[in-house]
Amino acid sequence: MADAQHEEVLARIAEGLLYTETEAAFLAPRRRQDEIFAYNHTPPGEAERRRELLVEILASVGERTVLLPPFHAAFGSNVHIGDDFFGNVNLTFVDDVGIRIGDDVMIAPGVTLTTTGHPVHPARRADFGRFSEPIVIEDKVWIGSNAVVLPGVRIGYGSVIGAGSVVSRSIPPMSVALGTPCRVVRPITEEDLAERTA
């Protein structure tokens, strides 16, 4: 019977429907809290140990990945990171479901990627009622400091998210987007190749 109940909860989670802390308790063994603690307390000179821990923590991790401690994650095991990733300090993954990050992505300090939200009506938040939707960050994206990316968002190839933005809807490729709520302000063009040159 427990397996059938677990399957039913997983199906609701996959559909972005409400579920509770008690219903999802069987997922707790997938949390990597001890490994995250160890990673955040590993000395800077122990690059190999940090890499070993990152492989243990994340669902998948590419080559030449830099993730500066401390970082935080609800699970860790639902995060996929591509090659040549740079994540600055205090990156938070609320990864109750999948977070997929492509290649050549840069994330500035203090960014939160949260796949999970809560209903507006307090009666629906009993037992920490919540919903979860995956986040996808495509290749070559840059996310500025203190941005928050909300459930279900996809950030398109090459786009830039301005510092302090709250990204509540998907952003198309090759766009500069910023604000609260985050909105596209312009496309990225060939003219941007000349920025900050002599």
List the domain boundaries for the chain. 2-187
Residue range 33-78, pLDDT digits in tens: 999 999 999 999 999 999 999 999 999 999 999 999 999 999 999 9
Res. 127: pLDDT tops 50: yes
Res. 106: pLDDT tops 60: yes
Q: What is the mean pLDDT of the chain?
A: 96
Res. 2: pLDDT tops 90: no
Examine the residue annotation and report whether 72 is marked as an active-site residue of this protein: no
* Catalytic hit among 6, 41, 80, 118: 118
Q: Looking at residues 192-198, what average pLDDT do you find?
A: 81
Res. 198: pLDDT tops 90: no
Q: Looking at residues 101-112, what average pLDDT do you find?
A: 98
Alpha-carbon gap, residue 54 to 97, rounded angstroms: 18
Q: What type of residue is 144?
A: G
In a 10 Å sphere around its CB, with 0-12 CB exposed, 13-18 middle and 19+ buried, how is residue 64 labelled? exposed
Among the CATH numbers 3.40.630.30, 2.160.10.10, 2.60.40.420, 3.90.245.10, which is that of 2-187?
Answer: 2.160.10.10
pLDDT band at 1 (very low <50, low <70, confident <90, very high): very low
Q: Looking at residues 159-178, what average pLDDT do you find?
A: 98
Q: 149, 147, 145: which is closest to 134 by C-alpha?
A: 149
Q: Looking at residues 125-148, what average pLDDT do you find?
A: 97
pLDDT band at 197 (very low <50, low <70, confident <90, very high): confident
